[in-house]
Amino acid sequence: MLCQFCQKRIATVHFTQVVNGNKVEMYLCEQCAKEKGQFSFGSPFGFNDFFPAIMELNQGPSYSAVKSNVQVCEKCGMSYEEFQRVGKLGCSNCYTLFGELLKPLLKRLHGNTQHSGKVPENVSRNINTSKEIEALQELLNKAVQREEYEKAAEIRDKIRALERDKGK
Amino acid sequence: MKGTVNEKGPESDVVISSRVRLARNLKDYPFPFKMNKEQQNEVLNIIKDSVLNDNDPLLKDIKYYGISSLNPVERQALVEKHLISRELAESQKESGILLSSGEKVCIMINEEDHLRLQCIFPGMQIDKAWDLCNSMDSMLEKKVKFAFDDHYGYLTCCPTNLGTGIRASAMIHLPALVMTGYIKGVLDACGKLGVAVRGRYGENSEASGNIFQISNQMTLGLTEEEIITHITNVTFQIIEQERALRNELYKQNPIRFEDKVFRSLGVFSNARTISTEESLKLLSDVRLGVDMGIIKNISMDTLNEIMLLIQPANLQKYARKLLNPAERDVMRAEVIRLKLSQNGQPTKGD
Ligand SMILES: [Zn+2]
Ligand SMILES: [Zn+2]
């Protein structure tokens, strides 16, 4: 995610502040977060500061690291902070772990986040099998509703066989 | 080894070669920079074995070379031929390449990704390069499980390659666009079209022999065929512009045009010592002369062979000894004269 203030660097800090009884949340980069911290009156956000909610404001802003930022990939030891430094991911699992944080970057790089090209044969076979199982499942439900138990048992066997295949 | 670039292909008056590269990773291993030595060796062996122990005709003339078994000159020579990256040549990892005898296929193992499958064809044949890459990829996926995600597609170490993992490119010679300054407009337009254009031998386009590499930037969200079609269309537009400008330049002042070409040929074929930079510059003029039919007795094959041999490492490989820069300049001039004379006497003009 990009810093919501400068729109340039990647956000690493989750910034919350209560202004006029409203909780304001922002994702900021480290640099912007530091600057914000020095003038905790909510002016940078364009809120009206002249109202009596000053007391609440004085609670000051609270910071917490963006959740995924402190997470480390259990498969390869990569942290999001390391990714930002080297620009590379460590393993397949990193894509799952940092997925949401990566999306804005992918959008910027490719204008898209969903693959539409080639699919490996074993994967597309699995996708087809899943679709087939789904269709059979529907037939099964209908058969049960109609109390055609013999037919239902037949369909159930087919589904089991397909599921075994898929697991391979 | 007679490289691809020594053959002539379609649109060879502008396009020197076409290439398609696919980035792939094995499902059960971290990406190369996160692997330990043991994992690096495992991945290397899995890929090596699945390619070498196969009777498929596509793979039959492929040989393996471990990077650590090659000396620095051999590695550099492969970089100059554009078969491997500088990163792989300098790699401390357990890495290697699978190279076909015609150098049409080159697979880098344990570069940034576990596999970088590349197919290279002479002239404008990006579609053919893709077809071959695609069939090799399909064959490999029967033996190894690639890291693939339903949403993101093929998973790559760098997000810039994610999805299709494809980089389709053409190496193009654009002397007229550079000479007229129109190249800047072309570069700007390409940037807006999601197409990257880089100088082949560095930033200074004249010093790099007016040779550029054009390639797709986006890899996610489009099909491989869409990417190939897009880069092909953009390249053809550049080809047409370059051709029109060449003809226009000639028409405006044929004598000056021929004079430039033949003066360059004169120095190129008679120099006794010459730097890489100067020879690439002159080569560009000579190539233009041959493309336009002004220089008659030199074949494009000869020029392509010279283009490879004049680079420092390939030159030393050819000479079969290490040479210091001054010795290289002498050797380079010698090789150019030899190759041109073997081709037959260059025309000295009417
Ligand atoms: Zn910021
Ligand atoms: Zn990881």
| ipTM score for this prediction | 0.83
Among the partner residues A92, A95, A118, nearest to B224 by beta-carbon distance: A118
- For B220-271, write each residue's pLDDT tens digit: 999 999 999 999 999 999 999 999 999 999 999 999 999 999 999 999 999 9
Q: Are A133 and A159 in contact (CB under 8 A)?
A: yes
Q: Reply yes or no on whether the pLDDT at B304 is more than 70.
A: yes
Rounded distance between C-alpha atoms, residue B310 and residue B328, angstroms? 9
Q: Exposed e or buried b for every residue in A22-45, given b needs 16+ CB within 10 A?
A: eeeebbbbeebbeebeeeeebeee
pLDDT of residue B9: 81
pLDDT of residue B192: 87
pLDDT of residue B213: 93
The mean per-residue pLDDT over the stretch A95-122 comes to: 91
Domain ranges for chain A, please list them: 13-110, 121-167
Rounded distance between C-alpha atoms, residue B101 and residue B58, angstroms? 12
Residue A6 pLDDT class (50, 70, 90 cuts)? confident
pLDDT of residue B171: 94
Query: What order of strands is seen across the sheet that includes strand B105-109?
Result: B62-66, B96-100, B105-109, B115-122, B15-24, B166-173, B211-216, B195-199
Mutate to test the interface with A, among B20, B34, B114, B131 (most CBs of A within 10 A): B34
Least confident span in A29-38, B42-51, B195-204, B274-283: A29-38
Q: Which residues of B touch A76 (CB under 8 A)?
A: 30-31, 34
Percentage of the residues of chain B whose pLDDT score is greater than 70 = 94
Least confident span in A50-54, B22-26, B124-128, B332-336: A50-54
Q: Reply yes or no on whether the pLDDT at B167 is more than 80.
A: yes
pLDDT of residue B305: 93
Ramachandran region, residue B119 (left: φ > 0; alpha: ψ -120 to 50; beta: rest): beta
Find the B30 Cα to ligand 2 centroid distance in Å: 7
For residue B249, the tally of other CB atoms under 10 A from its CB is: 19
Distance from CA of A126 to the nearest CA of B (A): 11
Q: Are A113 and B221 in contact (CB under 8 A)?
A: yes
Residue with the bigger pLDDT between B75 and A7: it is B75
Residue A134 pLDDT class (50, 70, 90 cuts)? confident
Least confident span in A52-66, B98-112, B142-156, B225-239: A52-66
Residue with the bigger pLDDT between A122 and B166: it is B166
Residue A36 pLDDT class (50, 70, 90 cuts)? low
Among the partner residues A113, A118, A121, nearest to B220 by beta-carbon distance: A113
Mutate to test the interface with A, among B138, B139, B157 (most CBs of A within 10 A): B157
For residue B109, the tally of other CB atoms under 10 A from its CB is: 27
Residue A45 pLDDT class (50, 70, 90 cuts)? very low
Q: Reply yes or no on whether the pLDDT at A60 is more than 50.
A: no
Q: What domains can you pick out in chain B, each with its CATH number? A: 4-244 (3.30.590.10), 254-348 (no CATH)
Closest CA to B292 of B224, B347, B230: B347
The mean per-residue pLDDT over the stretch A105-115 comes to: 92
Cβ of A95 within 8 Å of Cβ of B158? The answer is: no
Distance from CA of B20 to the nearest CA of A (A): 15
Q: Reply yes or no on whether the pLDDT at A44 is more than 80.
A: no
Among the partner residues B30, B155, B220, nearest to A112 by beta-carbon distance: B220
The mean per-residue pLDDT over the stretch A157-163 comes to: 86
Angle of CA points B4, B6, B11, to nearest 5°: 85
Mean of pLDDT over chain B: 91
pLDDT of residue A43: 36
- For B21-43, write each residue's pLDDT tens digit: 999 999 999 999 999 999 999 99
Q: Which residues of A touch B33 (CB under 8 A)?
A: 86, 88, 90
Q: Reply yes or no on whether the pLDDT at A48 is more than 90.
A: no
